[in-house]
A and B are shown apart, each in its own frame.
Chain A
Amino acid sequence: MAELEAVIGLEVHAQLLTRSKMFCGCRAEYLGLPPNSNTCPTCLGLPGALPVINRRAVEMTIRTALALGCRIPEFSKFDRKNYFYPDLPKGYQISQYDLPLSLGGHLEFEVGGERRSCGVTRVHLEEDAGTLHHAGEIHTAKFSLVDLNRAGVPLMEIVGEPDLRSPREAPHYLRALRQLLLHLGVNDGNMEQGSLRCDANISLRPRGQREFGVKVEVKNMNSFRSLQAALEFEFRRQTAVIESGDRVHQETRGWSEAEQGTFSQRSKEEAQDYRYFPEPDLPPLRVSRELVEELRAGLPEPPLRLKDRLRDQHGLSEEQAALLTERLQDAEYFQAMVASGAPPRAAANWQIGPLQALCKESALAIEHSPVPAAELAALVRMVEAGEVSGTSGREVLAEAFALGRSPVELIRERGLIQVSDAEQMEAWVELAIQQLPKAASDFQSGNDRALGPLVGAVRKASGGVANPDLASRLLRERLGRGGE
C-alpha cells in the first residue's frame, strides 16, 4: 500500500480585544468577575432584547482578513446558528454563514526555516457562549452552573484551507497566525485561558491521490504541543484503521491531555442541523471601500517580512530576528534602540538577554519596561565603547529597572565609568596580588582558574570601576604569562 499522507486544516477562534461585547455594552473582559455579573438583557438573551453590532469588532476582523490577504465583500450579514445548550442563552449563536466579512486569503509560515503557505478560506465574526461549571464530572454531575459573563464576547473565526500535510506543520501555522494576531493587536494569544482556540480537521490519503479521505474533527487542544500531539495520535490511529482494512468514520473527537489520546464525541449521524438563517434583528452589513482602504493603510508590516528585514538590515542572526519579532512591540523596542544609536547586534543581545529576563521576572510586557529603549540604548553604547563593563552594565540595568531610573544617570552617580588608566590599574593589580598570594602563585604555575579571583580582587580594590579585560591582561603580564 502507498504511503499515507495527512491532510489537515485548522479552524481557529480568537477572542477580540474590544472593550465591549459583540452585541451589547458589557465588558469584553470577563475573567475573574463574580458569576453572571458582566451581563445585560442582550447577552443574557432575555426576551425582547436585541443585538447591536460592535463596530470595533468588525474593524478588527477586517484588519485581520486584510493582513491575511482576504477579499472584503461589500455586503456581509449575520446569521443565526440554532442549537440548544445551557451555555447558549438565546438558543442560537449569532454567526456568519454564507456572506462572511472576508473570503480567500493565505498565511505564510515557516517550518524549520522553510517557507510555507496555507490558504485561508474565510475570516468571520461571531459571539462566544457562556461557560458551564459542572458539580463534578460532566456526565455524573448532580447539577451544572451557568455563567454568562463570557456570553457575547466577540469571537473571530479563521478557517484554514486543508493545505497542511503533516501534524508537525500544524503548530507552526498556528504560531504564525498567533503572531499575526498579536502584531495586529486584536487578540492576546492566550491558548491556556482559551482566548485563542484551535480545532483541527484531519484526513488521510495515499500519497499522490487527489481526493480527500474521510475527515475527523479534533477539538480541545489548548497548546501548540497538544495540537501536534493530537494530530500525531490521529495520524497513527487512522493509519491503523486503514491498514486493517477498515474505513475511517466521519466524526468529532476530543483530545484528552490526561490520556494523550482522542475520543469519539459525536458521529456524523449525530451531527446537529444548525438551521442557519439570516439574523432578522440585524440589517445586512455594508462595508464601504473607504473603510477597507483606511484599515489597509493602517496595517503593520507582515511579521515574516519584518523578521527578514531586521535580520538583513542589522546583521542579526535568524534566531535573534525571530525572537525580536514575536510581538510587534518587541520589534518596535529594538528599532527604537537602534534609532537611538545602539549598535544593532549588541542592542539585540541586551534586549533578548537581560531586559527580557527582567521583564519576565516582573511580568511586564516590554513596552511597559521602566527603562525605555532610548535609555537602554545609551547604556549599550557605553558598554560597547568600553566606558562601562558589561557586568556593571547588567547590574545597573537591573537597578534602573527596579527603581524606574535612567541607567546612565545611575552610572554617573555611582562613578562607575570604567577606569583604564594604566598607572592606576597597575596599583590595583599589585594590591590584588598582595591580597591573594596563593592565587597568584597558582596562576604562575599554570592554574588558569586562579585568574578569576585575582581579577575580582582588582575590581574590588577599584570599587568596581576597573576595566576587567585590562585587569586580566595586566595580571598575566605581571605574573609572567603575558605571552600566552
Chain B
Amino acid sequence: MKFQKTGYHGLYFPELGISLDGYHPKAAYTFVSHAHADHMPRNKSTRAYASKPTLELMKLRGFRGKENPIAFGEPVETDNCRITLYPAGHILGSAMIYIESDSGTLLYTGDYRTPPSPASEGFEAPDHADFLITEATFGLPIYRWKPYEELTFQIQSFAKESLEAGYTPIFLAYNLGKAQEVMHLVAPLDHPVMIHGAGYKLCSVYDNYGIELGNYSAYDRETCEGKILIAPSSALSNGFASNLRKTRVAYCSGWAANESRRTQLTVDKLIPISDHLDFFELIAFCKKLNPKKVYITHTPNPAVVQHYLDLENIDSAHLEMEAEPED
C-alpha cells in the first residue's frame, strides 16, 4: 500500500485518494484520528471525516473545513477502499483508522492508549492488519504505566491531602484530554474545580458525551483559592494562581515518569499518567496484530522499538514525522 507524507504530520494514499491527519489537495477524504494539534488538519479545503466529538473539538480549536461525522465501527465506503474508525482510548473522540483495500489492510493508530483513558470511548482494535502505522511516543522500556486504580488514588489523595493541609492543589495537565481526564478522576471528591480558560472551553464537548467532569468552572484569579485547579504546565510561569501563597503542584503526564521533570518544572509531585500506551503495551499490541510490517512514528527512539520488533520477527521501518510529542 503506497503512502507519502503530506503537510507536517499527515499521510496521503495516492492509490486510494485519501489522506490521514493532514490535508492533501488530491484527497477526497481526510480522516482525522483526534483533535490534538499534531494530528489535526488546518486547511480550509479539508473534507474531514472523524468521530463526532473529534469534529466538535476541532471546531473549537479553529478548524474551518467541511465536517463529516462518522460513528465508530460503521464503515465508510469510498471508490477504492473501506474505512472504519475504532475507539483509540487516547482522548474523547480519538480513533484508530482501519483501511481495507485491494492492496491489503492497514491500521493507523493516531495516538492511542490501552487500557483506555476513563475519559474516552474505550479501546477496540481489529484482530489483524497487514500493515500497522503506530505512534511510539513512549517507546522505551523505562516507560510502564501503573494501573488506573493506582493513578486515580495518587491524584485523589494529592488533592485531598493538599486541601486538608490548607494548600490549593494545582494539577498541571494538557488542555485537551489530560485536563478533562484529571477532572473526571477527581469528580468523586465532589470538590469545586477551576480550569484554565483554554481547557475550559473544551469541557462542554465532554459534558455533551456524558463524561462526568464534576463541579467545575473557568479559572478565576480572585476566587481560585481552595479549589482544585487545573492548568497547562506553561501557565505557572505566566502568573496562573500566583496570588496564592500556599499551593501544591502535581505534574500529570507520561513525561512525569522522568525525575528530571521535577526540577525542570519545580513541582511537588510527579504523576505519570499518560494518554499514550506504554512500551510494553506497544510491543504486545504489535505482536497481537501480527502485521507484515510496522511503521513507527512520533518517537525519538524508533531504533529501540525496531530492535524489539526484530526479536519478534516483525518487519518494521521508521516513518519520520515532524511533530512534538505532546502528552
Partners in one complex: no
Question: Footprint of A on B, CB under 8 Å?
Answer: none
